[in-house]
């Protein structure tokens, strides 16, 4: 059967446009694709010339998607996910080891996922697991760059399948040596300690202190700031202050005596962990197996 030639733009132009549209910056797109800023601009201009319409409105260095650009971004995102899924299936049918790319939050990956990942590998020995850590929101991840993402998202795009699998609550924790030296018998005692804050969990201490009826403590206590949550937890382990520790993520640290609860409560619920899968990959058996395994591990943790 004869098939007409598809009228397709260059793939390099599509990738340049998709990255720029997703990241909102030609500079960021150039860094992600390992090309120059000028190359991104040329590819996007070439795509606009090929399509006969503007995809971005340009105001100085700012790029804002036009209505046509927004529609095109959404449509080619589905297409790129479909290409990645088809390629994975092709490799699987060829008998090659199937790579499963997991994009997870750094603290979750280090303290909860990695200690359990060998169990999934035993269930799926043919899978080649690739773990990437990132705090980027799901909207800013490149299409085709992951099979499963793990986030604590409040919402997600319509073309993403998602489900929560692990509940979390936060409670003050510190090294046992620090608490032996300066005991905490009530929330007000935290005013004599250094509170450890993380940029990736903004407002966490304010929420916890409000729930404990100790709003003013945050103004009296010394504070240290860290750009990532896992650094704040490590600082608590090293005796530098008190952090808000997430349970069950740090359950093993408490069991091993690296951390201890400064107070028994309140254990403040926070957003649960969710798995997120692009719609085009939702029916993939290996991805489905991994998401089911996450849910089973989460249920075992809660029980």
Q: What is the pLDDT of residue 199?
A: 93
> What CATH number did the domain enclosing 40 receive?
1.10.10.10
CATH for 112: 3.40.190.10
**Which is higher by pLDDT, 283 or 89?**
283
Q: Does a structural domain hold residue 142?
A: yes
Tell me, yes or no, whether 211 and 245 share the same domain.
yes
Decide which of 94 and 231 is more confident: 231
Let me know if residue 92 belongs to a domain: no
Residue 215 falls within a domain, yes or no?
A: yes
Give me 183's structure tokens: 């005991």
- Whether 187 and 265 have beta carbons less than 8 Å apart is answered as no
**Residue 4: inside a domain:** no
Considering the domain boundaries, does residue 19 fall inside one?
Answer: yes
Do 151 and 278 reside in the same domain of the chain? Answer: yes
Residues 187 and 259 in one domain: yes
Specify the DSSP class assigned to residue 276.
E
Could you tell me if residue 186 is inside a domain? yes
- Tell me which of 70 and 259 has the higher pLDDT: 259
Q: Quick check: 98 and 128 in contact, CB under 8 A?
A: yes
Distance in angstroms (rounded) separating the CA atoms of residues 13 and 139: 20
Model pLDDT, residue 192: 95
| Range(s) of the domain holding residue 15 | 11-82
Q: Is residue 87 assigned to a domain? A: no
Q: Are residues 67 and 134 located together in one domain of the fold?
A: no
Q: Say if residue 207 is exposed, middle or buried (CB neighbours under 10 Å; 0-12, 13-18, 19+).
A: middle
Q: What is the pLDDT of residues 285-298, one digit of tens each?
A: 899 999 999 999 99
Residues 152 and 78 in one domain: no
24 and 54 belong to one structural domain: yes
Please list the alpha-helical segments (H only) found in the chain: 11-23, 26-33, 37-51, 67-93, 106-108, 114-123, 176-181, 204-211, 217-220, 229-237, 251-255, 285-302
Mean pLDDT over residues 171-191, rounded? 96
91-150 residue pLDDT tens: 665 556 678 999 999 999 999 999 999 999 999 988 999 999 998 888 888 777 899 999
Q: Which of 272, 271, 248 minimizes the C-alpha distance to 259? A: 248
Instruction: Map residue 289 onto helix, strand or coil.
Output: helix
Listed ranges 19-23, 30-34, 65-69, 238-242; the one with the highest mean pLDDT: 238-242
Q: 0.85 cut: is pTM over it?
A: no
Domains held by the chain: number: 3
Residues 71 and 211 occupy one common structural domain: no
Shared domain for 109 and 152, answered yes or no, is: yes
Residue 91 has a pLDDT of 63
Residue 52 neighbours by CB under 8 Å, 6+ apart: none
Give the per-residue pLDDT at 1. 41
Residue 1: inside a domain: no
Mean pLDDT of 79-97: 68
């Amino acid at each position: 059967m004869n098939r007409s030639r598809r009228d397709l733009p260059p793939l390099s132009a599509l990738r340049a446009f998709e990255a720029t549209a997703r990241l909102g910056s030609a500079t960021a797109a150039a860094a992600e694709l390992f090309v120059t800023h000028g190359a991104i601009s040329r590819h996007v201009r070439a795509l606009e010339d090929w399509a006969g319409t503007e995809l971005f409105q340009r105001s100085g260095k700012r790029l804002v998607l036009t209505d046509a650009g927004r529609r095109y971004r959404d449509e080619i995102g589905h297409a790129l996910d479909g290409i990645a899924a088809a390629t994975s299936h092709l490799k699987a049918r060829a008998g090659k080891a199937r790579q499963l790319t997991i994009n997870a939050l750094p603290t979750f990956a280090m303290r909860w996922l990695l200690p359990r990942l060998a169990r999934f590998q035993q269930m799926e020995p043919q899978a080649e697991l690739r773990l990437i850590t990132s705090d980027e929101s799901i909207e800013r991840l490149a299409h085709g760059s992951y099979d499963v993402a793990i986030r604590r998202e409040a919402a997600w795009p319509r073309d993403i399948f998602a489900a929560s699998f692990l509940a979390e609550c936060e409670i003050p924790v510190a090294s046992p040596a620090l608490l032996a030296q300066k005991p905490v018998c009530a929330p007000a005692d935290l005013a004599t300690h250094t509170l450890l804050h993380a940029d990736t969990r903004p407002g966490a201490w304010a929420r916890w202190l409000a729930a404990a009826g100790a709003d003013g403590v945050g103004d009296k206590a010394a504070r240290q700031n860290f750009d990532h949550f896992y650094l704040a937890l490590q600082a608590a382990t090293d005796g530098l202050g008190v952090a808000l520790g997430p349970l069950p993520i740090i359950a093993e640290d408490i069991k091993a005596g690296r951390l201890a609860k400064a107070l028994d409560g309140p254990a403040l619920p926070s957003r649960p962990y969710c798995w997120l899968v692009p719609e085009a990959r939702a029916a993939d058996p290996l991805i489905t197996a991994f998401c089911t395994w996450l849910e089973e591990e989460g249920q075992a943790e809660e029980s």
